[in-house]
């Protein structure tokens, strides 16, 4: 048995994150909410959510319906994009932290980049190498894979993220059901609730695959 597996590493730092956004355009859509959890091993040590202020935010009707966007709440809580980045960027750039998210490689990394660009910062994807995407891991588990490519974890995850097979479901709702994790479906897409559920899924996944 490999003692380096995450399931045995109770001191491993995790940052679980999710963004809620005004649309789904990977280049120009901006996030209006970011939520994150900091955890060590299985223990959650901090839960945070921030609303990102954009003067001209255009949340599409569909996005507003799905994410429960409320302009009054948003406008009263939102802070400047730069101010939140100042707090958030050191967390994702911590080399000792594993960054967890559901479809984070296929979506949230683009939203963070859009946020940075709209705040006048340069693109910086240096943190991507520390990402563990629960959607990619879920696909590999569904295909019966028991080990990961430890030498090249990112490419391995992209391969599974790009893999398509009719009938295989890897959505968060499906994974919650599969792992029998109690949840409130009406709260899914609330960023903070989403990441708590994602972290629970991840904690199950690390016992299904040698990672």
Partner 1 sequence: MLAYNMIPIFKSTYSIGKSILTLDDPSKVKEGGSDSILSIAKEENLNQIVLVEDSMIGFLNAHTRCKEAGVQLIFGLRIGCVNQRTPEFLESNDTLHKIVLMGKNDAGIKALTKIYSIANKESKGLVDCNLLKQYWTYDLKLCIPFYDSFIYMNNFIGRKCVPNFGFTKPTIFIEDNDLPFDQFILEKASKYAQENNLHIEKVKSIYYKNKEDFSAWQTYKCLCNRTFGKERSLSNPNLEHCGSDTFCWESYKQYER
Q: At what angle do helices 81-92 and 109-118 cross, to 10 degrees?
A: 140
Residue 155 engages partner 1 in binding (rule: CB under 8 A): yes
Ranges within 88-117 binding partner 1 (CB under 8 A): 105-106, 109-110, 113-114
Shortest Cβ distance from residue 181 to partner 1 (Å)? 28
Helix (H) or strand (E) holding 51: strand 43-51
Shortest Cβ distance from residue 44 to partner 1 (Å)? 27
Residue 23 engages partner 1 in binding (rule: CB under 8 A): yes
Measure the CA–CA gap between 88 and 47, rounded to whole angstroms. 13
Q: Which is nearer to partner 1, 70 or 162 (CB)?
A: 162
Q: Of the ranges 27-35, 66-74, 91-99, 195-203, which one interacts with partner 1 (CB under 8 A)?
A: 27-35
* Binding residue for partner 1, selected from 154, 181, 188, 209, defined by CB under 8 A: 154
Q: Are 38 and 15 in contact (CB under 8 A)?
A: yes
Q: Which residues contact 205 (CB under 8 A, 6 or more apart)?
A: 134, 137, 138, 141, 211
Q: Which residues contact 25 (CB under 8 A, 6 or more apart)?
A: none
Q: Are 80 and 50 in contact (CB under 8 A)?
A: no
Site residues for partner 1 per CB under 8 A? 22-29, 58, 60, 62-63, 105-106, 109-110, 113-114, 123, 125-126, 128-129, 152, 154-155, 158-160, 162-163
């Amino acid at each position: 048995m490999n003692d380096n597996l995450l399931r045995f590493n109770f001191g491993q730092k995790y940052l679980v994150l999710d963004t809620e956004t005004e649309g789904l355009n990977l280049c120009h859509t901006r996030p209006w909410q970011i939520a994150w959890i900091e955890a060590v091993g299985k223990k959650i040590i901090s839960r945070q959510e921030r609303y990102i202020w954009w003067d001209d935010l255009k949340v599409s009707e569909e996005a507003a319906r799905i994410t429960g966007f409320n302009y009054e709440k948003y406008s009263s809580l939102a802070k400047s994009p730069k101010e939140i980045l100042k707090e958030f960027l050191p967390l994702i750039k911590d080399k000792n932290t594993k960054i967890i998210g559901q479809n984070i490689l296929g979506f949230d990394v683009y939203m963070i980049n859009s946020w940075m660009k709209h705040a006048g910062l340069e693109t910086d994807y240096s943190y991507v190498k520390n990402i563990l995407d629960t959607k990619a891991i879920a696909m590999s588990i569904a295909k019966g894979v028991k080990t990961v490519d430890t030498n090249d974890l990112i490419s391995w995850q992209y391969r599974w993220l790009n893999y398509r097979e009719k009938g295989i479901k890897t959505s968060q709702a499906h994974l919650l059901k599969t792992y029998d994790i109690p949840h409130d479906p009406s709260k899914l897409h609330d960023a903070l609730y989403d990441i708590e559920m994602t972290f629970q899924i991840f904690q199950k996944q690390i016992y299904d695959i040698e990672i």
